[in-house]
Chain A
């Protein structure tokens, strides 16, 4: 069965410090990997994706993510967190053979304290 795991319900980090939000997946084949962010009462905003190529992908708002095939992980990172980064972050995968369907993780709430 396809699944996406975000092991941390919540991540707390001080402003200016680096942040990591973890994601691992169990999907057949070579999936496409995504990160989305959800601000309160807002929709899902695309941050970045990995399709192929360089394992480190850069996205919006200074975020980046590292694909690790052997560990089936796609952790989201940012070198220096901002208070405005506080939001709910979702990891998602789409199987290579089915563009129709995303499998989402349960979400990680990121709290950045001043």
Chain B
């Protein structure tokens, strides 16, 4: 069964550093997403991306965050200057249809 692949599975970074989280969505999917789960809290929507632009973003997704689909296969989330409170599990997802949403296995980001 097709999967959404996320790398790395765990990333440790120093506060203030830039970090890029990578995702390879399912190949025929057109809609891409990032969600975040702070430890012990609920999964929260960050951003959706379609046709090479952001279609919707949450209030969490401020100027420190950006997304990109640089080469037609990868979908990246960049955090420009990480803060301690950015420590979380970040999930990428993609979908092709109304219902066909697939989540990746997540990248655990630890900011120290």
Contacts and interface: CB of A to CB of B under 8 A. Distances in A.
A100 B103 CA distance: 13
B56 to A, nearest CB: 5
B31 A44 contact: no
The 3 closest A-B pairs by CB, nearest first: A43-B105, A104-B43, A44-B103
Contacts, number: 50
A56 interface: no
Interface of B: 6, 9, 31, 33, 35, 41-45, 48, 55-56, 91, 95, 98-99, 101-106, 108
Main secondary structure of the interface of A (DSSP, over half): loop
A107 interface: yes
B45 A43 contact: no
Q: In the complex, which range does the number of interface residues on chain A fall in?
A: 20 to 34
Contacts of B31: 99-100
A104 B98 contact: no
